[in-house]
Amino acid sequence: MTRDSQLRGRFDRWFEAEVIDPMTDFQESTQEWRRLASELFGTFFLVLVAAGGGMMGQAFPDTISRQAAVVAPGLMVMAIILFMGKVSGAHLNPAVTLAFSLRGDFPWRRVPGYILVQLIGATLAALFLRAVIGVSASYGSNYPAEGYTAFQAFWMEVVLTLGLVSVILGMASGAQNVGIIGAVGVGGYIALAGLWGSPISGTSMNPARTFGPDLIALDFADYWVYARAPTTTDCRSADRPGNVAGRVAPLDGVMSQPCRQLCHGRESGRDPL
């Protein structure tokens, strides 16, 4: 056996274990409860960090900078993708779930469950933060900056969410955010977008992230900005030609024949609708 064939065999085994098997498990209906639990758990931790920065800053002034508050969610998303991306796909965001469905990678019948647990996870995080820190959850939500209109914040959210969804669709495997490269790409974008975009809109890019604190604070005055912007983005991004890169087919050139047959055999058996 030549060195090339040995390397090819190792690649095939790695590809099957790290990509094909998780994608197959992701379609197994009997494991949906695990995926929903993972989405709730992951969204809880994302909002714990995202909303926690503002609430901790209110409770302990001058301890958390704006830069730290907007970079922390990106780092948390990196960690979540690495530890649970193979289970639920690490959507953590209704906009991402809808985008995967619009592209045909995620069955529409599974969308309501994903969005519901994302909203529940975000709400539980805001409730936990209020109980522990002792300040209003409104300090952890997103609002248009003083001196800027809701429409200005809306368009900022549209542009930022368009970038986020484009990065995710381009790097995901099917409807799953998996792997080190995907974690760094998605988490890095969230941090960078927050560094320059947060002064105007807060850089939510996620209806669930804003919903939780707003619900606990009972203040939905500007929530339409953060709920409507992602849905506007999804319709524009899901059908862009560059956003088919996350599908398995483009990997044909680097897959050996046995692995290619395995991949496409399982891919053809999925139920996209």
Cα(81)–Cα(176) distance, integer angstroms: 9
Cα(161)–Cα(229) distance, integer angstroms: 8
Residue type for position 81: I
Per-residue H/E/C for 12-46: HHHHHHHHHHHHHHHCCHHHHHHHHHHHHHHHHHH
* Whether the Cβ atoms of residue 26 and residue 176 lie closer than 8 Å to each other: yes
Picking from 246, 240, 214, the residue whose alpha carbon sits closest to that of residue 227 is 214
Please list the pLDDT of the chain residue by residue as tens digits (273 residues): 577 776 777 766 655 655 555 555 566 667 789 999 999 999 999 999 999 999 999 999 989 999 999 999 999 999 999 988 889 899 999 999 999 999 888 999 999 999 999 999 999 999 999 999 999 999 999 999 999 999 999 999 999 999 999 999 988 877 788 788 889 999 999 999 999 999 999 999 999 999 999 999 999 999 999 999 887 776 555 555 445 444 443 334 333 344 344 344 444 444 433
Cα(191)–Cα(207) distance, integer angstroms: 17
* Whether the Cβ atoms of residue 237 and residue 163 lie closer than 8 Å to each other: no
* Rounded (to 5) percent helix, strand, coil in the chain: 75, 0, 20
Picking from 49, 242, 225, 227, the residue whose alpha carbon sits closest to that of residue 128 is 49
Q: Which fold has domain 18-268?
A: Glycerol uptake facilitator protein (1.20.1080)
Cα(159)–Cα(180) distance, integer angstroms: 25
Cα(254)–Cα(246) distance, integer angstroms: 15
Whole-angstrom CA distances from 207 to 10, 184, 214, 259, 272 are: 42, 22, 10, 38, 24
Q: Any residues with CB less than 8 A from the CB of 173 and at least 6 apart, and which?
A: 19, 22, 23, 179, 182, 246, 248
Show me where the domains of the chain are located.
Answer: 18-268
Q: Which two tokens stand for residue 86?
A: 């193979």
* Whether the Cβ atoms of residue 77 and residue 208 lie closer than 8 Å to each other: no
